[in-house]
A = this chain, B = another copy of it.
Amino acid sequence: MREHSVGIVSPRSEHFDEPLNFACGQSLPAYELIFETYGELNATASNAILICHALSGHHHAAGYHKEDDRKPGWWDACIGPGKPIDTQRFFVVSLNNLGGCHGSTGPTSENPTTGEPFGPDFPQPQVDDWVDAQARLADRLGIDCWAAVVGGSLGGMQAMAWSLRYPDRLRHCIVIAAATKLSAQNIAFNEIARRAIVSDPGFAEGYYLREGTQPTQGLALARMVGHITYLSDDAMASRFGRELQPGDPDEAGTEAQEFQIESYLRYQGQQFSSAFDANSYVLMTRALDQFDLTAPYEGDAVAAFTQASCEFLVLSFSTDWRFSPARSREIVDALLAAERPVSYAEIEADEGHDAFLLPIPRYLAVLDAYLKRVQD
């Protein structure tokens, strides 16, 4: 079962004293980054791969924290000995981004100017700010140039941003189920998620930690909205159909009988709301909405990618309607027009956007084949 696992891992933390200036104009005077590493850095530091996480992700991408952990890290399907991101060859670095809520400095951290948690006063990060912080972590670890920067969804946006912002610091860029910018529909779903959070009286304008409240219902709703959009219509149909089950009599607004999909979504929402910080969720969705790779190039993706000097692998999934294959093909088309080396595969998968997290054989095979020709 765990034979291809990196096994028990422990997060590390690095403190940074040099202020980080965010694109929004605010800055963090000092900050912590929490991260995990899997495998060994070689003598020339040429075998390092950076993993960039998506909206609600974190640094724990592979392995287990304790022997009795029920689940491994979020991308254990792809990272480990003999897996596509092979820890027998590569030194893998996975961090929690600034503004998150899993150990890197974020809204729940102490604001040094007030002695209270930052809460809603944490600076709004952009994808570029995360990339800058990741570059400093690379410096600290002695990594001048990544063998590859890899990410799915919002993580894929970070990988693309690396290729433009630090073109000499990565040799390969692997962009999975992403887009150069969100569509209006994507933004609309995120706005509903944010509105659910900020209109929950427990949100207290973001000062819920100080007020001793929690926007539990709002955050649960936000997650429910996200969850629907990560699954395909077909995946939902085959998994839940219209099956009924008894409702929870202790839960307001549920019926004696309800559809399985209803209780499933509610359960997912509740789990998430007890594990994620609401201000972080607002910041992360805003960063996602505001990302536009082409903005500094007057909307021209070809001009943007002309700045890149690495090789690209772009992957999409057939039933992903949040970041559809069409959005990946836009990336590929721009890379081709910019005469950058690019490989592309659309993976047949029923699972919608969620597919990028799952052990889908053809997906793993394509990733494996590509990484086999990445020099370590």
Contact = CB atoms under 8 A, between A and B. Distances in A.
Interface of A: 181-185, 187-189, 191-192, 194-201, 205, 217-218, 220-221, 224-225, 228, 231, 233, 236-237, 239-242, 252-253, 255, 259, 261-262, 265-266, 269, 282, 286, 289, 292
A192 B265 contact: yes
Contacts of A261: 184, 187-188, 191
Contacts of A199: 200, 217-218, 220-221, 252-253
Contact of A266 (B195, B201, B224, B253): B195
Contacts of A198: 252-253
Contacts of A221: 192, 195-196, 199, 221
Contacts of A220: 195, 199
B182 A195 contact: no
Nearest to A192: B224
9 contacts: A183-B236, A183-B237, A184-B239, A187-B242, A188-B224, A191-B262, A192-B225, A196-B221, A199-B221
Contacts of A239: 184
Given A195-B253, A196-B196, A259 B187 contact: yes
A185 B266 CA distance: 14
Contacts of A262: 187-188, 191
A188 B235 CA distance: 13
A265 B181 contact: no
Nearest to A244: B290
B225 A182 contact: no
A188 B252 contact: no
Contact of A224 (B195, B240, B269): B195
Most B CB within 10 A of own CB, among A184, A220, A241? A184
A304 to B, nearest CB: 15
A240 B187 CA distance: 10
A241 to B, nearest CB: 6
Contacts of A228: 185, 188-189, 192
Contacts of A197: 253
B185 A233 contact: yes
A54 to B, nearest CB: 20
Nearest to A217: B199
A228 B193 CA distance: 13
Given A188-B224, A195-B269, A242-B292, 5 more contacts: A191-B259, A194-B253, A199-B200, A199-B218, A199-B221
